[in-house]
């Protein structure tokens, strides 16, 4: 752990694989590689960034297609406005920045310039939730909640390298605005090759009836490891992975929740306005009267620090998921 | 289909008559609603006449023609002027103008993009120029020589995103992009809430080829647009000094012309004033 902590103490490190005890291999820059590959068959794809190309893994696309790549500098409103203009000329822009900037700084542009006109722009947002130790300025802990309020915007929170590659292809096939959270750098592979990603579809990854974990983003990795550990302790834990936050697969969530004793949600996001809120709304609408235990970030700003330290402190580790479920009694 | 006219070929008198027709349409529309952004519309009428009946390349029967020049109205509340121009250009029916601002009309008081000929949703100020940059980039990637014209206002220069866009346009050397900045000296809270002078120097400092003209002088407007045709690696800014309410002395002299509400009984007098003033000008 100390080695990982030191590595993650460089606060730009992802902190993806430190918390799960190793054993998984990883892939470098799965988003950028997938986009560069897509660019060969899709000449309409253009890439944009706001001075964060290096830090959002889009440079493989720039290197392959320099004439189709535009860096607008540190100007996120303009990033989204320019993307909107490009979309109106028939291009499919993939625009990258950090989640905090795509949401807090550029919100009016995402809402009005993109979503209101249903323009075909994909925003790919780095540093989702607690994946940086830079503190509240860089941690997009409320981005899912903010973006959920925008009509017609598709929102994806992928779990691993396999899903990022699959989702990059899927959102390119989808016509309309998308906000996708990005896991960057060295991203672990959790799902087997052949894992199918489909926009708007949740996936049952473990069957179980004592407890059902509904998770999104990298918390699904923790949920799977927790479920496997709990099974050894004699508890049957199911896992429903919900990578699409909007449109939300309410049907799958209700069906899953109806078949389990206890329900736990797990997200790399504040527990208000994101996955937990969606699950509670869904269960209420479906008339399922069960309590929901929410794993996620508290409704407050998070301090600076090493990513593994912060993830452990705020309960975003496998151990924390296991402990939370064990405490349900 | 209209093509770019060669420089110097403009019929100034004909364009002035077009501007008068646009103003007449606008007054009729505002009368129907009893209100509207008529001051701004009357002020920008000469520039829109020069664009739609001289400078812009478009096909009224195919507003989505990929080769068309784009005109983006960033100030969505100037829609009254855009509807008049689109009607006069044959893109929307003239008879439809009377529905301006009415329930279920597609001629909204602030533009959405669902009406033919509209290239963006205006109204959230500071959006237009960046979208123009994106459109100009997209056209260049596909090697179209079509140009992009963006109207924005003096008040809109107070939005930081306008300058984000201005920086990027010169960085990307978008010489097919033309910004028309309507400096009419009014904004929501009154005249010159925040002083933006010297306007032209700001655009020059951001790397734009800049013209500063009387935006109600047709010869000057046509001349500046001709100057913007040069593809010299720089985007062009045309600072239009306009008079809000131009053509109707009673509105020109009003201090409330950001949003104009006039009693039904007074409209006949206003239109008579316009006709008299316009007739005297010719």
Tens-digit pLDDT profile for residues B108-164: 999 999 999 999 999 999 999 999 999 999 999 999 999 999 999 999 999 999 999
Residues A293, A150, single domain; the answer is no
Architecture of the domain spanning B12-281: 3-Layer(aba) Sandwich (3.40)
Which DSSP symbol is given to A139?
-
Chain B: closest CA distance from residue A271 (Å): 31
Output the pLDDT for position A3. Answer: 36
Q: What does the pLDDT average to over B68-93?
A: 97
The domain boundary residue, chosen from A125, A159, A188: A188
What value does the mean pLDDT of chain B take?
Answer: 93
Distance (Å, rounded) from C-alpha A220 to C-alpha A266?
Answer: 7
Tell me if B171 and A113 make a contact (CB, 8 A cut-off).
Answer: no
CB B29 within 8 A of CB B94: no
Tell me if A88 and B131 make a contact (CB, 8 A cut-off).
Answer: yes
Distance (Å, rounded) from C-alpha B254 to C-alpha B249?
Answer: 9
Chain B: closest CA distance from residue A67 (Å): 7
Residues A286, A179, single domain; the answer is no
Output the pLDDT for position B4. Answer: 46
CB A1 within 8 A of CB A308: yes
Distance (Å, rounded) from C-alpha A206 to C-alpha A239?
Answer: 5
**Residue A9, domain member (yes or no):** no
Q: ipTM of the predicted structure?
A: 0.95
Q: How confident is the model at residue B263 (pLDDT cuts 50, 70, 90)?
A: confident
Residues A40, A175, single domain; the answer is yes
Count of all residues that appear for chain A in the document: 329
**Residue A10, domain member (yes or no):** no
**Which position has the token pair 């028939």?**
A90
User: Which residues, in sequence order, are CB contacts of B97 under 8 Å at separation 6+?
Assistant: B25, B28, B29, B83, B84, B87, B107
Write out the residue range of the structural domain in which residue A210 sits. 203-326
Q: How many domains does chain A have?
A: 2
Tell me if B136 and A86 make a contact (CB, 8 A cut-off).
Answer: no
**Partners of residue B168 in chain A, C-beta under 8 Å:** 72-73, 75, 78, 82
Pinpoint the alpha helices (H) of B206-253: 218-227, 249-252
Chain A: closest CA distance from residue B121 (Å): 7
**Partners of residue B121 in chain A, C-beta under 8 Å:** 112-113, 116-117
What predicted TM-score, i.e. pTM, was given to this entire model?
0.94
Of A78, A108, A113, the CB nearest to B168: A78
Tell me whether A113 touches chain B (CB under 8 Å): yes
Count of all residues that appear for chain B in the document: 282
Tell me whether A201 touches chain B (CB under 8 Å): no
CATH code of the domain containing A314 = 3.40.50.920
Output the pLDDT for position A6. Answer: 34
Which residues partner with B151 through β-bridges? B73, B180
Tell me whether A192 touches chain B (CB under 8 Å): no
Chain A: closest CA distance from residue B203 (Å): 17
**Partners of residue B172 in chain A, C-beta under 8 Å:** 70
Which DSSP symbol is given to A161?
H
Task: Using alpha carbons, select from B255, B203, B268, B263 the residue that is nearest to residue B234.
Answer: B203
Q: Number of A to B CB contacts under 8 A, please give it.
A: 101
Tens-digit pLDDT profile for residues A64-95: 999 999 999 999 999 999 999 999 999 999 99
CB A189 within 8 A of CB A233: no
Secondary structure in 3-state letters for B74-91: CCHHHHHHHHHHHHHCCC
**Partners of residue B110 in chain A, C-beta under 8 Å:** none
Phi, psi dihedral angles at A228 (to 5 degrees):
-65, -40
Chain A: closest CA distance from residue B69 (Å): 12
Residues A60, A168, single domain; the answer is yes
Task: Using alpha carbons, select from A46, A114, A45 the residue that is nearest to residue A76.
Answer: A114
Residues A179, A212, single domain; the answer is no
What value does the mean pLDDT of chain A take?
Answer: 93
**Partners of residue A73 in chain B, C-beta under 8 Å:** 167-168, 171
**Residue A130, domain member (yes or no):** yes
Does residue B1 register a pLDDT over 50? no
Distance (Å, rounded) from C-alpha B280 to C-alpha A318?
Answer: 83
Tell me whether A84 touches chain B (CB under 8 Å): yes
Chain A: closest CA distance from residue B139 (Å): 7
Residues A237, A154, single domain; the answer is no
Residues A42, A132, single domain; the answer is yes
Phi, psi dihedral angles at A154 (to 5 degrees):
-85, 135
Tell me if A75 and B164 make a contact (CB, 8 A cut-off).
Answer: yes
Pinpoint the alpha helices (H) of A19-58: 30-41
CB B69 within 8 A of CB B63: no
Which DSSP symbol is given to A136?
T
Task: Using alpha carbons, select from B59, B55, B74 the residue that is nearest to residue B8.
Answer: B55
**Partners of residue B129 in chain A, C-beta under 8 Å:** 81
Tell me if A85 and B124 make a contact (CB, 8 A cut-off).
Answer: no
Residue that wins the pLDDT comparison between B73 and B255: B73
**Residue A278, domain member (yes or no):** yes
Cα angle value A214/A217/A219 (rounded, 5°): 60
Residues A183, A270, single domain; the answer is no
Question: Which of B:56-75 have CB within 8 Å of A?
Answer: 66
Chain A: closest CA distance from residue B72 (Å): 10
**Partners of residue B138 in chain A, C-beta under 8 Å:** 46, 85-91
The domain boundary residue, chosen from A158, A188, A218: A188
Residue B266 token pair: 């007074």
Distance (Å, rounded) from C-alpha A71 to C-alpha A52?
Answer: 9
Q: What does the pLDDT average to over A204-215?
A: 97
Tens-digit pLDDT profile for residues A179-189: 999 999 999 99
**Partners of residue B112 in chain A, C-beta under 8 Å:** 116
Tens-digit pLDDT profile for residues B156-166: 999 999 999 99
**Residue A16, domain member (yes or no):** no
User: Which residues, in sequence order, are CB contacts of B264 under 8 Å at separation 6+?
Assistant: B31, B34
> Could you tell me the residue ranges of all domains in chain B?
12-281
Residue that wins the pLDDT comparison between B212 and B250: B212
Chain B: closest CA distance from residue A141 (Å): 25
Residues A308, A247, single domain; the answer is yes
Tell me whether A94 touches chain B (CB under 8 Å): no
Tens-digit pLDDT profile for residues A4-45: 333 333 333 344 333 334 579 999 999 999 999 999 999 999
Does residue B280 register a pLDDT over 80? no
DSSP for A197-213, please give it. Answer: --TT--EEEE--SSEEE
**Partners of residue A108 in chain B, C-beta under 8 Å:** 124, 127
**Residue A52, domain member (yes or no):** yes
Tens-digit pLDDT profile for residues B84-109: 999 999 999 999 999 999 999 999 99
Residue A5 token pair: 């902590």
**Partners of residue A91 in chain B, C-beta under 8 Å:** 138, 141
Residue that wins the pLDDT comparison between A192 and A16: A192
Tell me if B167 and A75 make a contact (CB, 8 A cut-off).
Answer: yes
CATH code of the domain containing A31 = 3.40.50.970
Tens-digit pLDDT profile for residues A236-275: 999 999 999 999 999 999 999 999 999 999 999 999 999 9
Residues A179, A215, single domain; the answer is no
């Amino acid at each position: 752990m100390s080695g990982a902590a030191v590595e993650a103490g460089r606060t730009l490190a992802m902190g993806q694989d430190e918390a799960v005890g190793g054993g998984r291999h990883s892939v470098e820059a799965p988003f950028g590689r997938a986009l560069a590959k897509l660019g060969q068959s899709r000449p309409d794809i253009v890439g944009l960034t706001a001075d964060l190309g290096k830090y959002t893994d889009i440079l493989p696309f720039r290197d392959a297609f320099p004439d189709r790549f535009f860096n607008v500098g540190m100007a996120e409103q303009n990033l989204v406005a320019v993307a909107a203009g490009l979309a109106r000329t028939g291009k499919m822009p993939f625009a990258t920045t950090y989640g905090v900037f795509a949401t807090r700084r550029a919100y009016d542009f995402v809402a009005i310039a993109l979503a209101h006109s249903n323009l075909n722009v994909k925003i790919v947002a780095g540093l989702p939730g607690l994946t940086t130790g830079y503190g509240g300025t860089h941690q997009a802990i409320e981005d899912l909640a903010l973006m959920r309020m925008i009509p017609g915007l598709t929102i994806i929170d992928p779990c691993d390298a396999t899903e990022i590659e699959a989702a990059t292809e899927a959102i390119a096939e989808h016509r309309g605005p998308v906000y996708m959270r990005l896991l960057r750098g060295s991203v672990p592979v959790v799902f087997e090759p052949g894992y199918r990603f489909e926009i708007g579809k949740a996936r049952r990854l473990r069957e179980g009836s004592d407890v059902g974990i509904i998770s999104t983003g990298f918390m699904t990795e923790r949920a799977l490891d927790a479920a496997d550990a709990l099974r050894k302790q004699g508890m049957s834990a199911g896992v429903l992975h919900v990578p699409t936050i909007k449109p939300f697969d309410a049907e799958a969530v209700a069906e899953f929740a109806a078949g389990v004793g206890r329900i736990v949600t797990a997200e790399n996001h504040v527990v208000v306005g994101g996955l937990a809120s969606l699950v509670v709304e869904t269960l209420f609408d479906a008339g399922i009267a069960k309590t929901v235990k929410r794993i996620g970030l508290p409704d407050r700003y998070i301090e600076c620090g090493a990513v593994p330290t912060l993830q452990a402190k705020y309960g975003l580790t496998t151990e924390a998921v296991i402990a939370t479920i064990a405490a349900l009694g | 289909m209209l093509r770019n006219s060669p420089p110097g070929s403009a019929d100034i008198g004909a364009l002035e008559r077009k501007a008068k027709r646009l103003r007449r349409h606008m007054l009729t529309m505002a009368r129907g609603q009893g209100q509207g952004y008529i001051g701004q519309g009357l002020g920008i009428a000469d520039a829109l006449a020069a664009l739609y009946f001289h400078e812009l390349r478009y096909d009224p029967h195919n507003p989505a023609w990929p080769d068309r020049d784009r005109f983006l109205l960033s100030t969505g509340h100037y829609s009254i002027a855009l509807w008049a121009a689109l009607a006069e250009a044959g893109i929307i029916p003239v008879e439809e103008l009377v529905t301006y601002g009415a329930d279920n009309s597609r001629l909204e008081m602030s533009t959405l993009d669902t009406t033919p000929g509209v290239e963006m949703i205006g109204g959230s100020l500071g959006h237009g120029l960046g979208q123009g940059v994106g459109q100009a980039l997209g056209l260049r990637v596909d090697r179209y020589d079509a140009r992009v014209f963006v109207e924005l206002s003096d008040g809109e220069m107070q939005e930081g995103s306008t300058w984000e866009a201005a920086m990027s346009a010169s960085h990307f050397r978008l010489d097919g992009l033309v910004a028309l900045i309507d400096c009419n000296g009014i904004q929501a809270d009154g005249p010159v809430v925040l002083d933006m002078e010297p306007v032209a120097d700001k655009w020059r400092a951001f790397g734009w080829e800049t013209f500063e003209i009387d935006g109600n002088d047709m010869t000057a407007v046509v001349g500046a647009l001709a100057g913007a045709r040069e593809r010299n690696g720089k985007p062009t800014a045309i600072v239009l000094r306009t008079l809000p309410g131009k053509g109707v002395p009673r509105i020109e002299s009003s201090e409330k012309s950001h949003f104009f509400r006039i009693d039904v009984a007074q409209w006949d007098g206003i239109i008579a004033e316009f006709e008299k003033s316009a007739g005297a000008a010719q």
